Amino acid sequence: METRRVVITGMGAITPLGNSVEEFWNGLKEGRNGIGPITKVDVSDFKVKLAGEVKGFDPLNYMEFKPAKRMGLFSQYAVAATKEAIEDSGLDTEKEDPYRIGVIVGCGIGCMQKHEKEIPKFLAGEKLDPMYIPLVIANMASANIAIRFGLKGKNMDVSTACATGTHCIGEAYNSIRLGEADVMIAGGTEAAITATSIRGFAALTALTSETDPDKASRPFDKDRSGFVLGEGAGILVLEEYGHAVKRGAPILAEISGYGVTNDAYHITSPSPDGSGAGTAMKIAMTNAGLNPTDIDYINAHGTSTHHNDLFETRAVKYALGPAAKSVSINSTKSMTGHLLGGAGAIEAIVCVKAILESYVHVTRNSFEGEDELDLDYTFGRGKTRNIDNCMSNSLGFGGHNASLIFSKVKA
C-alpha cells in the first residue's frame, strides 16, 4: 500500500522559556535559562531546590472558566498549546470532516497535584471530589483537546515516560501515512512540579541538588549531576501533504522517519552499549531513506544524568558510525529542564525551527566533556549551519526509545 507524506503546518508551546513558540525559540537562541528556584512547592526541607517552571500561565487566556476547572494543569497546558498550534496552521476545524482529524497527546505522570489533594482526604475518611479521577488520568489531555476543538477522529494517549511526546508524534505520523486521518494533533504535556514528584525522583537520585541555576542542567558536561524537573507542553499539527497544499497551509517541515525500540534491559537505565536507542535511530533513517551522512543535527535526549548522556552518546556512534563526528548535537533540557512526557514534543518544535532558521542553539551550562563524550554538543555558543535533516531522540524509563527525523520540504 502506498504511504502518504506527512508535513507539519502548525506548532504551539507552553514552556519554562515562554508561553508561545516564538517566546520559547527566542529564549533558546538567546541562551536564556528557564531554570530557577522552585516556587510552586515548599522545598525548604528538600535537597532539590531548582526546576524549570512555566511562568505567567493563565488558563482563562485559552479557555472558559468551567472547562478549565474540570482539567488538571497538564491538560490545561495541552489545550493552550493546541490553540496556538491550530491558529498557527490556519486550520478551520468547522470546515473539515471532524472524523478525519485525530489527536494523540500523551502525559507521563498525570495530575499529581490532584492526587496530593485527594489522598489525605481518603486517608482521613473524607468525601473525595467527584472529578478526582477525570482530573488525574493521563488520557484527559488528548480527550480535552478533542472536546475543546470538536475533533472526532482517532484519539489516543501514548504514555511512555520520557519518550511520550516523541512516541505520540510518531504514532500520529503513522496514522496519516496509513490513511487513518488527514490531520493529527500530536505532542506531549506534563505538570509534575509537585512535592511527591520531586521527592520521588530525588529518591531515585535522578535529580541534581545543585542550587545554582547556571550549574544545574549540564548535559554531556563532565560535571553533570542529575536532571532538573521541568513542565509544559508542545503540540504539532501534522497533515497529509496533499491536504495541506490544497488548503494553502503554511508547510513548515516534513516528518520523514520514525524509529521505535525497547532496550529490554533495566527499568530506569538505558542499555549501556547504546544498541537499543541506536537501533531506533537506524530504523528512523531507513524509514526516511537517509544515510548517516545525511543527518545534519541531532536534538539529543540529553538529560544531564551520568548514564543517559554517556549511553546516548554511544547510541549516536552506534547509529551514525564515523558520521557522528560531524553532526551537530545539543540538548534543549539545558535551558528548560526535563519536561518528562512533554520533552520530546517541545524538542520536535526545536527541530522544525532549526530547519527553518538554519540554527543550532547552544547547550547551555556545558563546557567540557569527558572520556567518551567527544562529539560536537554545541558547547559555548549556538551556531548557524544548513539543516536539511535533523533527528530528535527520546529515551524513557522502562527502556522506551523513539527517534523522529524532520526534513526540509521538497515539492
The tens digit of pLDDT for each residue in 188-205 reads 999 999 999 999 999 999
Q: Which residue has the cell 523522529?
A: 404
Kindly write down the DSSP assignment for every residue of 315-342, as one continuous string: HHHHHHGGGGGTSEEE-THHHH-B-GGG
* CA 363, chain centre distance (Å): 16
CA gap 335, 191 in Å, rounded: 17
* CATH topology (fold) of 7-246: Peroxisomal Thiolase; Chain A, domain 1 (3.40.47)
d(CA 33, CA 20): 16
Q: What is the pLDDT of residue 2?
A: 67
Q: Please tell me the predicted confidence (pLDDT) of residue 3.
A: 79
In 3D space, the residue among 25, 89, 80, 104 whose CA is nearest the CA of residue 232 turns out to be 80
Cβ atoms of 88 and 24 within 8 Å: the answer is: no
Please give the pLDDT value at position 1: 52
| pLDDT given at position 407 | 98
Residue 302 contacts residue 343 (beta carbons within 8 Å): no
Q: Express each pLDDT in 59-100 by its tens digit.
A: 999 999 999 999 999 999 999 999 999 999 999 999 999 999
**Whole-prediction pTM value?**
0.98
Catalytic residue list: 162, 301, 338
For the chain, give the percent of residues with pLDDT over 90: 99
CA 163 to chain centre: 8
Domain boundaries, the chain: 7-246, 257-407
Superfamily designation of domain 257-407: Thiolase/Chalcone synthase (3.40.47.10)
- For 15, 350, 368, the CA distances from 55, given in Å and listed in that order, are 8, 20, 31
Is there a common fold for 7-246 and 257-407?
A: yes
* Model pLDDT, residue 387: 98
Write out the H or E segment, with its range, that includes residue 275. helix 275-288
pLDDT at 411 (0 to 100): 72
From the list 352, 249, 360, 234, the residue with the least C-alpha distance to 297 is: 360
List, for the chain, all residue ranges whose pLDDT scores fall below the cut of 50: none
Q: Kindly provide the b/e burial profile for residues 54-75, where b requires at least 16 CB atoms within 10 angstroms of the residue's own CB.
A: beebebeebbeeebbeebbbbb
CA 300, CA 307: separation in Å to the nearest integer? 14
